[in-house]
Amino acid sequence: MNKKKRALFSVELLIGPWRKVVPGHICKMLIAEALSEGVCHKKPLHEIMGYLITSRRVFIVMDIPDKNIHELFRDFYERIRKKIKPYLHSHKEHYDTAKTDKEMVLFEKHELRNNYLIRLLCGKKVALKYYDPNLERLKNMLQKQEYCSMVDYSGAIGPVIMHCRSCEHVKDENQHQH
């Protein structure tokens, strides 16, 4: 990653109506794959510091150069379009497939303002001098999520930071599959 001016950027994405056509577990997996692919570019635009993917929402905390935010989302949306296209074509009665390429609303983007959630997704502790039942519910909910950076998939609690040092092995594997 280059040392240009960078910022921590947090966003909440409401998944669009296409989520009703793509089965829930596959929807989450496709989103996770699209996020991972974005990190594994030759020149990655960002580093994902924390994430949570639920059936209706995607929460992402990224370290990103300010100027690349729009490019990042354009690329991410394009990867999602390609991944969901087969599902939309199989449900033509519900979706105008001509509209899917550019006009379909994939996500509704909102600023993520929940500081507790941001800190937890980045693997940071939230220590209060008092008991907060909402914070405890949030921690418990995050520990049970399938696609969440707070929970390491080996079962350990901690951040799962997504970045790619060298993606040549991914490129080589893809070439051997074709």
Q: Residue range 107-120: average pLDDT?
A: 94
Cβ-in-10-Å burial (0-12, 13-18, 19+) of 128 comes to exposed
What are the tens digits of pLDDT across the range 79-109? 999 999 888 877 766 665 555 456 778 999 9
In the 8-state DSSP scheme, what is residue 41? S
Q: What is the pTM of this model?
A: 0.77
In the 8-state DSSP scheme, what is residue 48? E
What are the tens digits of pLDDT across the range 164-177? 444 444 444 444 44
Give 123's pLDDT tier (boundaries 50, 70, 90). confident
Q: Give me 137's structure tokens.
A: 């519910």
What are the tens digits of pLDDT across the range 23-78? 889 999 999 999 888 776 555 556 888 999 999 999 999 887 666 778 888 888 99
What are residue 150's phi and psi, to 5 degrees? -70, -30
Q: What percent of the chain is helix, strand and coil (3-state, nearest 5)?
A: 45, 20, 35
Where exactly are the structural domains of the chain?
Answer: 6-177
| pLDDT (0 to 100) of residue 120 | 93
Give 159's pLDDT tier (boundaries 50, 70, 90). very low
Where do runs of H (alpha helix) occur along 52-132? 69-89, 97-100, 115-121
For 7, other C-beta atoms within 10 Å of its C-beta total 10
Distance (Å, rounded) from C-alpha 175 to C-alpha 68? Answer: 28
Highest-pLDDT range among 5-9, 79-83, 156-160: 79-83
| pLDDT (0 to 100) of residue 117 | 95
In the 8-state DSSP scheme, what is residue 124? -
> What's the mean pLDDT when you consider all of the chain?
78
Buried b (16+ CB within 10 A) or exposed e, 23-37: eeeebbbbbbebbeb
What are the tens digits of pLDDT across the range 126-157? 889 999 999 999 999 998 898 998 865 444 44
